């Protein structure tokens, strides 16, 4: 199973995790990316995420497919939030199940790194001094 999704509403990790709970798997590694209250020394109050939806979905699916080719995994799912998020909200969830833990750890790390580098989604941070800016690293 491979899937990449974009969600306008809160991500439900319990439901996603259930879909990866497969009998041939001995390991599940999850990554949760949360909205943090600071960035480069500035206090952050909230975030917006904006996506180029069509391209984000196709590039995200491509990453999940590539993960299946690179690593000995069984299931891989990723969901990225868009819209307005508050501190502590879950912004991205990734789960990878595999026969053994090594592949699950490696694939999960690879998937989040590829998503951050390749998927057309942008973050705007709102700072406590009233300024907000899109991050274009």
Partner 1 sequence: MKVSVHYFAGLRDRAGCNSEEMDLAEGTSLTALYAQCCARHGIDFPRERLRVALDDAFVSWDHGLHDGAQVAFLPPVSGG
d(CA 98, CA 68): 10
Element of type H or E holding 90: strand 90-98
Q: Is 136 in the site for partner 1 (CB under 8 A)?
A: yes
Residue 18 phi/psi, 5-degree rounding, is: -60, -40
Q: Is 93 in the site for partner 1 (CB under 8 A)?
A: no
Q: Nearest-5° angle of CA 113, CA 114, CA 118?
A: 125
Q: Is 34 in the site for partner 1 (CB under 8 A)?
A: no
Least separation in angstroms between CB 43 and partner 1: 18
**Between 31 and 99, CB nearer to partner 1:** 31
Task: By CB under 8 A, name the binding residues for partner 1.
Answer: 33, 49-52, 54-56, 58-59, 80, 91-92, 112, 115-124, 133-137
């Amino acid at each position: 199973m491979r899937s990449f999704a974009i969600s306008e509403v809160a991500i439900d990790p319990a439901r996603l995790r259930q879909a990866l709970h497969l009998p041939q798997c001995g390991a599940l590694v999850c990554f949760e990316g949360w909205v943090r209250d600071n960035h480069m020394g500035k206090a952050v109050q909230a975030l917006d995420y904006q996506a180029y939806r069509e391209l984000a979905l196709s590039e995200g699916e491509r990453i999940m497919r590539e993960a299946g080719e690179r690593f000995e995994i069984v299931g891989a799912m990723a969901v990225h939030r868009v819209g307005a998020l508050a501190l502590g909200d879950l912004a991205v969830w990734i789960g990878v199940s595999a026969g053994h833990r090594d592949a699950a750890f490696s694939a999960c790390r690879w998937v989040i790194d590829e998503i951050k580098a390749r998927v057309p989604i942008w973050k705007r941070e709102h700072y406590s001094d009233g300024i907000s800016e899109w991050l274009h690293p």
